[in-house]
Structure 1
Amino acid sequence: MAEEVFQKARNRTLSVFCEDAEKEWKAPFYFIQGADPQFGLMKAYSIGNCDSGGDEWDQELKLTQQAVQAINRLNPKPKFFVICGDLVHGMPGTPWREAQTRDLKNVLKGLSCDIPAVFVSGNHDLGNAPTPETINDYCQQWGDDYFAFWAGGVLFLVLNSQLYFDHSKCPEQKQAQDVWLSEQLAIAEKKACKHVVMFQHIPLFLKSPDEDHDYFNLEKSIRQELLDKFCKAGIKKVFSGHYHRNAGGAYKDLEMVVSSAIGCQLGEDTHGVRVVVVTAEKIVHRYYSLEKLSNEGIEKDLMDLIKQN
């Protein structure tokens, strides 16, 4: 039954948002960005073997449940809840992956029906070197691996960043996304919307656009090409996960926002999500611990962010 709960992205769009109705700017709104629930990583990390699939995920299940319950209580409701990849820890074809996926869906189906879920593919969802088969499996489970949708007068683009990390086993899929992305950026460049926002799993960079390439960012030449394309199209915000720590930086007018995990933390941050407020002039954001989101509420913060911007 959990399979039927989510209105998945199909045909490169998210039909839960009607483009004709959502293209027009009406008023400020906000959404919630999370990343890396990654059921199974906390156990794998605790035993020093992150390459394992993780045979326990009770902690991640409870944390994601806490996030869902806290988001449901927010008033006013967020426009949507986007999860920027690594939904589960088990790589394609590994033990526990099916059970992790089932349990995550069962938790997420508790999300209020008027808060759409938006899914972004990560490396653990597709494999570090994805194949046509692993991409197809993800699309069956969670919806298209890249797509666009309009919400509140804003154009949102969702990328499969794994195709920019290693597309050696799926060159045709990489080429298809490149063509699609060029079409979407051409729309963005015409300035037919208040803002254009990008979601992806792997950050373009963590702190500086000229930093060295490693596991947690994209290779320099690819990074620079994307940065220049995004800036030319007027994209001001790119939201990602993958790092399991909060980070980010700027390139020209573009801000790279890296959000820590709902699940396993690899630094000093708390389990949490990011609240993103969209006004006519700006997009502002703040990371909240699940504890604060659950127990203290953020309604006053939301109103302050909207009024100040």
Structure 2
Amino acid sequence: MATEEDMFLRAKDRSYRGLTEDEDKKWSGPFYFIQAADPQLGLMKAWKMGDCDGGGDEWDDEVRLTRQLVQAVNRLQPRPRFMVLCGDLVHAMPGVKAVFSGHYHRNAGASHDGLDMVVSSAVGCQLGTDPHGVRIVVVTGDRLVHRYHSLDQLSEKGVDEDLMNLLA
């Protein structure tokens, strides 16, 4: 069983060791993967209360089920080739200041009643003029600051200095 450190060290230089084109471009036989969807933290309590707009401030049931999922998948033999998690990750979160998403393949956003909707452009295929990249999100005790970084910028310069200073 790989350690957590080993698992995250496999992702390096815009590739994932153990799942690369060079190793996998020729068919080598059947395999399987796991597709999981909608952990939607907070929905179960909200649904039970009958208040899907205002409830959802507790995640205990969803966290228990998510842990059960991870434990079950880790025990499978043979191991799945990979696992993808799709759909709604969070239904409600106390104190939410921003919701981050993708799928639009360009940067966008809006704000309503103090809640920011932040859409980050893609690592992959761009539909607009935004560069391939990621959004850096810094959370402090009293602030949430985010900024989109191109992959080139992130590779060459790293995270903007003012964002790093917030972590000090």
TM-score normalised by the chain length of structure 1? 0.31
* Among candidates 33, 37, 41, match of residue 141 of structure 1: 33
Change (3 A) 1:264 1:286: same
Q: Is 1:187–2:58 an aligned residue pair?
A: yes
1:234: which partner in 2? Answer: 95
> Structure 1 regions of 5+ residues with no counterpart?
8-64, 71-102, 108-139, 149-156, 158-176, 189-199, 203-228
1:69: which partner in 2? Answer: 13
2:57 partner letter: A
* Among candidates 116, 128, 132, match of residue 267 of structure 1: 128
Change (3 A) 1:285 1:234: same
| Greater strand proportion | 2
CA positional deviation for 1:243:
0.3
Q: Alignment length, in residue pairs?
A: 119
User: In 2, are the aligned partners of 1:278 and 1:284 still within 8 Å (CA)?
Assistant: yes
User: In 2, are the aligned partners of 1:201 and 1:240 still within 8 Å (CA)?
Assistant: no
Identity of aligned residues (%): 42
1:106 partner letter: L
User: In 2, are the aligned partners of 1:245 and 1:267 still within 8 Å (CA)?
Assistant: yes
CA positional deviation for 1:141:
3.0
- CA deviations on 1:113-163 (whole Å, 9 max, x unpaired) are xxxxxxxxxxxxxxxxxxxxxxxxxxx835642337xxxxxxxx4xxxxxx
1:294: which partner in 2? Answer: 155
Change (3 A) 1:178 1:302: closer
CA positional deviation for 1:264:
0.5
* Among candidates 107, 128, 136, match of residue 246 of structure 1: 107
User: In 1, are the aligned partners of 2:106 and 2:127 still within 8 Å (CA)?
Assistant: yes
> Structure 2 regions of 5+ residues with no counterpart?
5-9, 21-31, 49-54, 60-85
1:106: which partner in 2? Answer: 19
Q: Where in structure 2 are the equivalents of 1:125-164 lying within 5 Å?
A: 141-142=33-34, 144-147=36-39, 157=41
Q: Secondary structure at the match of 1:187?
A: coil
Q: Secondary structure at the match of 1:257?
A: strand
Q: Where in structure 2 are the equivalents of 1:146-225 lying within 5 Å?
A: 146-147=38-39, 157=41, 178-179=43-44, 182=47, 185-187=56-58
User: In 1, are the aligned partners of 2:136 and 2:159 still within 8 Å (CA)?
Assistant: no
Q: Secondary structure at the match of 2:13?
A: helix
Change (3 A) 1:179 1:104: farther
Q: Is 1:280–2:145 an aligned residue pair?
A: no
Let me know the Cα RMSD of the aligned residues: 4.1
Q: Is 1:258–2:124 an aligned residue pair?
A: no
User: In 2, are the aligned partners of 1:237 and 1:256 still within 8 Å (CA)?
Assistant: yes
Change (3 A) 1:104 1:287: farther
Question: Which one scores higher on RCO, CA 8 angstroms, separation ≥ 6?
Answer: 1
Q: Secondary structure at the match of 1:186?
A: coil
Change (3 A) 1:259 1:248: same
| Greater helix proportion | 1
Change (3 A) 1:234 1:302: closer
Change (3 A) 1:142 1:284: farther
